[in-house]
Amino acid sequence: MSTSLTQKLTATAASPASAGRGRGAGRRTDPGTIALGSRRARPAYVALAPYFLLFAIFSAIPIGFTMFLAFTDWRGIGDWNLVGLTNFGYLLEDPLFWKALSNTLILWVMTTIPCLTLATLVALGLNSAVRFSTVYRVAYLVPNITSLVAMGILFSSIFSSNFGIVNALLNSVGLESVRWLQSEWGIKVAISTLSAWSFVGYNAMIILAGLQSVEKQVYEAAQLDGAGPVRTFFSITVPMLRPIIMFITIMSTIGSLQSFTEAQVMTSSQGGGASSAGGVGNSGLTLVLYFYSVAFQENRYGYGATIAWGVMVVVILFTIINWVATRERSR
Amino acid sequence: MTTTSAPESSRLTSPAAGVTARRRRRPPVRRSVGRLLRHLLLAAGALLSFFPFYWMFVLSTHRSAAIYEFPPPLLPGDRFRENFESVMSTINVWAAMANTLLVAVTVTFFVLLIDSLAAFAFAKFSFPGKRILFLVVMLTFLLPSQLATIPQFLMMTELGWVGELKAVIVPSLAGAFGVFWLRQFFQNSVRTELIEAATIDGCGFFRQYLHVALPSARPALAFLGIFTFIGSWNDFMWPLIVLNDPSRLTLQVALSQLQTTHGTDYGMLMMSALIAVVPLIIVFIIGAKQFIDGITEGALK
């Protein structure tokens, strides 16, 4: 092309240098990028098109439609009516929704705290033990990559009342069997054990990366100042890990608030429908499992859409809480 | 800014150096006891982490009645073949596995293609509307996927796709995570000067993408590929909603149906779970290094 040289010259002049210049230039061009005017930007738009086309069809439009559905009483077949805020009023007074919300929050605490504590310990161990580190990493990560359906089935047997290995262990030390899968707290222990087990390795790898990014000079300086290992951990390692802790707390929270598979698989043998979802006394009913039962087992699409909005509010609320909590302390 | 290899190597050497400097002060006996203790704890944790897989294997080699025995069997039994044959005669495992493989491979290929194109445009070029478009990508991270599920299902019903694999494949052909992830990588490791030089040589956008961006992004693409493949292989809720034809199920849905219909036949159930898990473990062990590096880099940038 004949214009390529001038293009090149304008591009270099505009790209890295313009970052610090006037506001007008900075707003248009990010540092380290090549500025494309509206005429030459066509290939960039073509490159973005497939992503945004799929996004529009399978995310944006459906999300808009979910908002609309939440104001209707549609059940999949037959007529539907606009019912105003009825669904939202019903949601606020729906004992099952609150049950699901409280279960989800309890499971979140029961999963995240042991999971992140164990992950920190594993990461600290791996940070100093150099030998076999790849073997350890693989062993700790394998639970994270395996199917939760298969593992849910396995954990159902591990926690089974009649023959589970957990009860066998309890019996062998003289304790009574617990009906894990059929009791209010038992099912929560079973579900959160599965979730925590599958995510310890993943979180440990992230914390490990954070640990290894702390400059060794910082540790050497602390040693010269006479700081012991405990002091070093709390005064240097923990503050340096703050961004990592924030990252994994938020990611674990978003994941945990939307957990579905563990609860679905471990309580599915106990009948269908929303009222019996989540096992005995709805003890294992999570928000997303409730959403699934209402929308796809009872075909109450209007109310299901309302629950989906409820899930979104909870997720965003807790993300903000987490973000503020982990950020405030760093100051 | 620089290539990724430099910080990676310094990350690997720094803790080791720090450790030896710290250890030099301690008496040698205490040091080796501490090291032994640490290895013991780590090994115990790794065993605990791996035990469920072993237990799954043990159960899959016993008669279903064996797990009602007390104490439960801790060693493999002799019913491996019987349980395997019983799975084969109950569900079409090979078809389910082929379906899952087809879904996972197709989804992975298109996610890599579509996300890398978008990520390249976002990482290396400025154009009108870029900020808003990228904000849209980031927002989809926060929004729970359930917000789109019901209308997606209605859409599939309208299209007549319910029960078919394309209902699982098509909605997941692009992902916000991949765009975000690859954009980071392109920004940090593809030098803008290289692309400018390619422009001078008369290379357009797509040839720059093909010949400059993609070759240098191989590690990032490998991680995203493994990540997407595993996610797609294990995907459960959406396939459970749209797949209802017994001859066209993914492994996860087939497993969950087997659990509801044959919930008491534990030997067979564990065998089928084992079959669903083993291929993925193989994929993981092949790509373990890339995957582990990928996880840790995502957190750091």
If asked whether residues A33 and A163 sit together in one domain, one would say: no
Q: Which pLDDT belongs to residue A229?
A: 79
Q: Flag the least confident range among A260-274, B100-114, B136-150.
A: A260-274
**Is residue B68 very low, low, confident or very high in pLDDT (cuts 50, 70, 90)?**
low
Residue A174 phi/psi, 5-degree rounding, is 85, 10
If asked whether residues A209 and A324 sit together in one domain, one would say: yes
**Interchain pair A128, B55: CB under 8 A:** no
If asked whether residues A128 and A48 sit together in one domain, one would say: no
Across the range B150-160, mean pLDDT stands at 94
Work out the minimum CA distance from A222 to partner chain B, whole angstroms: 11
Of the candidates B42, B45, B143, the beta carbon closest to that of A312 is on B143
Across the range A136-148, mean pLDDT stands at 89
Across the range B24-39, mean pLDDT stands at 71
- B165-211 residue pLDDT tens: 999 999 999 889 899 989 988 888 888 888 888 888 878 888 888 88
> Is the ipTM above a cut-off of 0.95?
no
Report yes or no: B154 and B171 within 8 Å, Cβ to Cβ: no
CA-CA distance, A163 to B211, in Å (whole number)? 59
Of the candidates A15, A36, A211, the beta carbon closest to that of B192 is on A15
Q: Is the pLDDT of residue A302 over 90?
A: yes
Residue A81 is assigned to a structural domain of this protein? no
Residue of chain A with shortest Cα separation from B140: A59
Q: Choose the final residue of a domain: A37, A69, A101.
A: A69
Domains in chain A: how many in total? 2
If asked whether residues A27 and A105 sit together in one domain, one would say: no
| Residue showing tokens 């692009």 | B174
Across the range A131-141, mean pLDDT stands at 83
If asked whether residues A112 and A51 sit together in one domain, one would say: no
Q: Which pLDDT belongs to residue A163?
A: 72
Q: Is the pLDDT of residue A197 over 90?
A: yes
Is some CB atom of chain A closer than 8 A to the CB atom of B114? yes
**Interchain pair A220, B18: CB under 8 A:** yes
Would you state the structure tokens that stand for residue B37, as one six-digit string?
């203790």
Q: Is the pLDDT of residue A63 over 50?
A: yes
**Is residue B300 very low, low, confident or very high in pLDDT (cuts 50, 70, 90)?**
low
Q: How many CB pairs under 8 A join A and B?
A: 342
Residue A205 is assigned to a structural domain of this protein? yes
Residue A76 is assigned to a structural domain of this protein? no
If asked whether residues A112 and A191 sit together in one domain, one would say: yes
Using an 8 Å CB-CB cutoff, list chain B residues near A174.
none
Q: Which pLDDT belongs to residue B26?
A: 55
Is some CB atom of chain A closer than 8 A to the CB atom of B149? yes
- The pLDDT mean for chain A works out to 82
Residue of chain B with shortest Cα separation from A44: B121
Of the candidates A46, A66, A126, the beta carbon closest to that of B147 is on A66
If asked whether residues A315 and A189 sit together in one domain, one would say: yes
Residue A150 is assigned to a structural domain of this protein? yes
**Interchain pair B256, A149: CB under 8 A:** yes
Determine what percent of chain A is predicted with pLDDT higher than 70. Answer: 87
**Is residue A6 very low, low, confident or very high in pLDDT (cuts 50, 70, 90)?**
very low
Would you state the structure tokens that stand for residue B62, as one six-digit string?
């016993």
If asked whether residues A46 and A173 sit together in one domain, one would say: no
Whole-angstrom CA distances from A271 to A67, A157, A282, A331, B260 are 30, 18, 11, 51, 9
Using an 8 Å CB-CB cutoff, list chain A residues near B256.
149, 264-265, 268
Say which DSSP state A72 is in. B
Is A329 or B94 the better-scoring residue by pLDDT?
B94
Q: Is the pLDDT of residue B156 over 80?
A: yes
Q: Which pLDDT belongs to residue B299?
A: 55
Residue A31 is assigned to a structural domain of this protein? yes
Is some CB atom of chain B closer than 8 A to the CB atom of A7? yes
Whole-angstrom CA distances from B108 to A275, B103, B138, B170, B224 are 38, 8, 20, 11, 8
Using an 8 Å CB-CB cutoff, list chain A residues near B269.
153, 157
Q: Which pLDDT belongs to residue B25?
A: 54
Residue of chain A with shortest Cα separation from B142: A316
Work out the minimum CA distance from B151 to partner chain A, whole angstroms: 5
Q: Which pLDDT belongs to residue A172?
A: 84
Chain A from 297 to 316: CB within 8 A of any B CB: 301, 304-305, 308-309, 311-312, 315-316
Q: Is A63 helix (H, G, I), strand (E, B) or coil?
A: helix
Q: Is the pLDDT of residue A289 over 80?
A: yes
Of the candidates A66, A149, A165, the beta carbon closest to that of B236 is on A149
The CATH code of the domain that includes A118 is 1.10.3720.10
Work out the minimum CA distance from A37 to partner chain B, whole angstroms: 6
Q: Which pLDDT belongs to residue B9?
A: 38
Q: Which pLDDT belongs to residue B16?
A: 42
Determine what percent of chain A is predicted with pLDDT higher than 90. Answer: 38
- The pLDDT mean for chain B works out to 82
Q: Is the pLDDT of residue B237 over 50?
A: yes
Range of the domain at A12: 5-69
Using an 8 Å CB-CB cutoff, list chain B residues near A229.
22
Determine what percent of chain B is predicted with pLDDT higher than 90. Answer: 31
Q: Which pLDDT belongs to residue A205?
A: 87
Q: Is the pLDDT of residue A10 over 50?
A: no
Q: Which pLDDT belongs to residue B6?
A: 37
Which of B117, B147, B157, B227 to mutate against chain A (most A CBs within 10 Å)? B147
- A273-285 residue pLDDT tens: 667 788 888 889 9
Report yes or no: A301 and A76 within 8 Å, Cβ to Cβ: yes
Is A257 or B67 the better-scoring residue by pLDDT?
A257
If asked whether residues A184 and A319 sit together in one domain, one would say: yes
**Interchain pair A200, B285: CB under 8 A:** no
Q: Which pLDDT belongs to residue A328?
A: 56
Residue A83 is assigned to a structural domain of this protein? no
Kindly report the length of chain B. Answer: 301
If asked whether residues A20 and A107 sit together in one domain, one would say: no
Would you state the structure tokens that stand for residue A262, as one six-digit string?
């563990």
If asked whether residues A263 and A152 sit together in one domain, one would say: yes
Across the range B214-240, mean pLDDT stands at 90
Residue A75 is assigned to a structural domain of this protein? no
Residue of chain A with shortest Cα separation from B143: A312
**Interchain pair B277, A147: CB under 8 A:** yes
Q: Which pLDDT belongs to residue B12?
A: 39
If asked whether residues A244 and A281 sit together in one domain, one would say: yes
- B81-111 residue pLDDT tens: 888 888 888 888 889 999 999 999 999 999 9
Q: Flag the least confident range among A151-155, B25-29, B268-272.
A: B25-29
Residue A78 is assigned to a structural domain of this protein? no
Is some CB atom of chain A closer than 8 A to the CB atom of B36? no
The C-alpha angle with vertex A214 and arms to A135 and A125, in degrees rounded to 5, equals 35
